[in-house]
Structure 1
Amino acid sequence: MTFVTKLRFQSGDRNALDDTVEGLRNMLERKGAECKGPHTEPSEHVRVPLHDRLAPGTTLGEWSYEVFSRRLEIHGNDHIAREVGHMEFPDSVHVEIEVEQKKPLGYRN
């Protein structure tokens, strides 16, 4: 059985995001891992209301920012995927890791 490690990166800092993803992609290629991506997702505009106190009441306006996302997949190479799971990433980059088990065609349990 093969494992597919899916990584999703999000950040409001596009340069930090691109540097992180490209650095990881280069490391994976150097180690010989089969990698798909990075795939760019459409950016998301987020609006957050600002309040001058904790109690409900009037708002001071909104703070808006843009969130950028990238996806990357590592096929097989479980030891490399495990190594990526233990890596330190910049605080400005949010990382989600999902591991999916792929069974060969015709495989029965």
Structure 2
Amino acid sequence: MTFVTKLTFQSGNRYELEDEVSSLKELVEKKGAECKGPHAQPPESVRVPQYRNLAPGDEFSPWEYTVYSRKLEIHGNDHIAREVGHMAFPESIHVEIEVEQKKPLGHRRD
């Protein structure tokens, strides 16, 4: 059985995100793992209301910012995927890790 490690990176700083994801992909490929991506998601515009106090209706203008996302997949190399999972990333980058187990085609369920 093969494992696929799916990494999702999100940040408000597009340049730092690109730099971090590109260097990670380079590192993973140097170590001999199959890496797919990075795949860019459309930027998401987020709007957060700000209130002067707890009373309704008394607001500042909303805080608006953009979140950029990139997805990367590591196929089959569990050791490298585990190593990436323990890496420290900048605080400005949010990282989600999902591990999926792939069974070969024609594999019977027991």
TM-score, with normalisation over the residues of structure 2? 0.95
Deviation at 1:57, TM superposition (A): 4.0
What's the counterpart of residue 78 of structure 1? 78
Structure 2 residue matching 1:106: 3-state secondary structure: coil
Partner of 1:62: 62
- Please state whether the residue corresponding to 2:95 is helix, strand or coil: strand
Return 5+ residue gaps in structure 2 as ranges.
none
Residue-pair matches, total: 109
Q: Which amino acid aligns with 1:77?
A: N
Q: Deviations over 1:4-57 (max 9, x none)?
A: 000000000011101110010010111011000000000000000111224544
What corresponds to 2:53 in structure 1? 53
Mapped partners of 1:69, 1:21: distance in 2: 10
RMSD over aligned CA atoms reads 1.0
Normalised by the length of structure 1, the TM-score is 0.96
AA at the equivalent of 1:5: T
CA distance in 2, matches of 1:15, 1:90: 13
Alpha-carbon separation, structure 2, partners of 1:82 and 1:53: 46
Q: For residue 20 of structure 1, give the secondary structure of its aligned residue in structure 2.
A: helix
Corresponding letter in the other structure for 1:26 = E
Cα distance in 2, alignment partners of residues 85 and 54 from structure 1: 40
1:91 alignment partner in structure 2: 91
One-letter amino acid of the structure 2 residue matched with residue 41 of structure 1: Q
